[in-house]
Amino acid sequence: MLDALLAISDFLWGWPLIIIIIFVSVTFSFRLRFIQFAKLGWILKNTLLKIFERKSEGEGNLTPFQAAATALSATIGVGNIAGVGMAISIGGPGAVFWMWVVAFFSMINKYAEIVLGLIYRQKDPETGIYRGGGMYYIINGLGPQWKWLAFVFAIMFSFMFFVFGFVQSNTLALTLESSFGIPVLTGGIIIAVAAGIVIIGGIKRIGEVAERVVPIMAVLYAFGALIIIAMNISRIPEVLGCIFREAFTGSAAAGGFAGSAAMLAMRQGFARGIFSNEGGMGSAPAAHATATVTHPVQQGIWGVFEVFLDTIVVCSATALVIMFTGVLPTGLQGAELTKLAFTTGLSGFGSAIVTISLILFAYTTALTNEFYCETGISYALGNKAAVAIRYLYILGLVYGAVGGLQHIWGLADFFMAIVVIINLLVVFALRDKVWEATYDYFWRSPDKPKSFKWTGTFVQ
């Protein structure tokens, strides 16, 4: 059964998903005047430079940065370390180019889905938590006749992030074993307890932890990578040339995958890129829907920033370190390949940087993945089931710790493919609402008031 799912996953992550991702993103880019490029400087100024701003207006559960940090804790995670290592080891250096390509596509897709997530978010009358995401803009945007699709999406969405929890605990358990000699089962139990302490406290506690940990882990990892890059700065033209060349010709990847085709590089780049930056997955709106804002675009721009930071900065740093240190032919995959690269490039403390980063990345991502899983279950089965899933998810972290790396990544790819297809088609169907909100925020005459105001949901 698993082999059948993996076969379906391989097919979907070929031309079907590549065509959908490109078609939706190109359409949005033209319609929204390529704001991911034209307004990138303004977006970075109003996101990166406002990270520590505590004041915010409007209704919500978290500050704009807390909501973004919660989403970033899932975005900047194992995908940046293990995912890049997996992509290059299987698809060759050319996979990096396709990660960059999907990043520029994902920027506008993530912006659009977050805007829709804010427009159609709902306040849970029982918990007071603002809920958002694909299932909410399906039912509230497309109409009640699509209730069945919202239910299917919510269930698949929950399954996906339940499995993503396996990915985090598996990577983290293997790191604890290789670095400290802790058996994977024991490591899984430790992970489950540490995550459970925060998860049981709900989204506010997750947001508070993410707000503090995300900047630290990003700076630590980037610092180590920048040192290695600076030491090899003269080789950048050579490495970039290799990446661009092999993106279209394929290469002999490590571990016996001789003759890796360009299509394999593209498939790995797209799959690992989407897994890492989550653009088009419909997950980020679930976190951003909790933000205290007065206009959906205020939070939508964080989506552009997240993809830029995650893929263009952090994933690129990982890829360059692997290429500079020459560890690709060793046959290692995932986090072990990245760890060897840092150890080779920074003998003495390179291994410690990756180990600490992996622990923080996987831990914070596991927390946010649970909230996403809970959001889907809450919509499909109610709040009682959502509370129950917290405990089931915590137990699942133990199971994931002892699972097989290839099978877990393959299962994650399958659920991710289904969710991305549904989400992007729905986002495309609601494209006019995204355009209306964007025009209202960026281009409406200053003497006219903004049309989008919070009245339980954003309406025009």
pLDDT value at position 332? 82
Q: What number of other Cβ atoms are within 10 A of residue 128's Cβ?
A: 8
For 398-420, write each residue's pLDDT tens digit. 988 887 656 666 777 788 888 88
pLDDT value at position 438? 92
Q: Tell me the CA distances in angstroms from 103 to 83, 112, 307, one per residue in order.
A: 14, 14, 6
The pLDDT of residue 28 is above 90:
yes
The pLDDT of residue 107 is above 80:
yes
Q: Looking at domain 2-441, which of 1.10.3720.10, 1.20.1740.10, 3.40.50.720, 2.40.128.20 is its CATH number?
A: 1.20.1740.10
The mean pLDDT value for 59-69 works out to: 64
pLDDT value at position 70? 67
Structure tokens at 109: 């897709």
pLDDT value at position 449? 58
Asked whether the beta carbons of 65 and 306 are under 8 A apart, the reply is: no
Question: What is the amino acid identity at position 230?
Answer: A
SS3 category, 376: helix
Asked whether the beta carbons of 397 and 191 are under 8 A apart, the reply is: yes
Q: Which is more confident, 192 or 46?
A: 192
Q: Which is more confident, 442 or 335?
A: 442
- Give the CA radius of gyration of the chain: 21
Q: What residues are paired with 62 via a beta bridge?
A: 291
Nearest to 178 by CA among 352, 403, 396, 410: 352
For 292-349, write each residue's pLDDT tens digit. 888 899 889 988 988 888 888 888 888 899 989 888 888 787 778 888 898 898 887 8
Whole-number mean pLDDT of the chain? 81
